[in-house]
Amino acid sequence: MPERLPAPLSGQVALVTGAGRGIGAAVAIKLSALGAQTVLCGRSRPALEHTAQAIVEAGNQSTIFECDVTDLRSVESSAQHVERDFHRLDILVNNAGIAGPSGPLYQLPPDEWEAIFNTNLRGVYYMIRAFAPLMIRARSGHIINISSLAGKNPLPNGAAYSASKWGLNGLTYATAEELRAHNIRVSLVCPGSVHTDFSLHAGKSAERMLQASDVAHAVAMIVTQAPQSFASEILLRPTQKP
């Protein structure tokens, strides 16, 4: 009988923000299936527990940390817990994000603008600031930022969301250059419209839209690449227009 090969991410620790639902849950489940000890981060413990249950039912392991990426103290506390409990972090997936209301920019309330940028851009900065030092000490790691095709193309009636994702793209490109010297690979995944239970797109065919599992597959491809290369950017589009 042939010897069973170890899972590709066996022994690694992966942290996913916004892991309670949608893309974040799919990514966490996928990384766990590949053998990673997965840390689930998010603001809603019941949602995180739902993802954790799916991971356990598949015979894999995860840990829950309640974390608000817009709160630096919350992020730093999570980093301290990860360092204390695992002594390492191999994969950081910055997935947490919000879209905000749809409408012209001149009608967008300032507090909505702040909420979008605090989550989609400032939150990624906080996470990298808190967790990159663990990777730098190990001279190894993956950071994957989940952006959007709205960070590549105009999005009328979603200007703040689009601007936050354009900013995230620029942050990712620059951080990738900063961390290459430390053998840390920083990548960007930009999906088009993704059909999830909490982010439905009126007028579009759910069957033709991207699924959360498609984004998880892209993340899995990135973190299982050979060490001498990395995919700096993946653009995901549906085969057929929804």
**Residues labelled catalytic:** 161
Q: Return the structure tokens found at 112.
A: 């909505």
Q: How far apart are CA 3 and CA 179, in angstroms?
A: 37
The single-letter DSSP state of residue 191 is E
d(C-alpha 5, C-alpha 56), whole Å: 21
Give CA–CA dist 158/46, Å, rounded: 29
DSSP 41-81: EES-HHHHHHHHHHHHHTT--EEEEE--TT-HHHHHHHHHH
Q: What does DSSP say about strands 194-195 and 210-211: parallel, antiparallel, or unpaired?
A: parallel
Question: Is residue 168 a contact partner of residue 210, using CB atoms and an 8 Å limit?
Answer: no
Q: Are strands 13-17 and 91-94 parallel, antiparallel or unpaired?
A: parallel
> How many Cα atoms are found within 13 Å in the side-chain-facing hemisphere of 142?
32
Residue 1 vs residues 4, 25: alpha-carbon distances, Å: 9, 35
How far is it, in rounded angstroms, from Cα 13 to Cα 43? 20
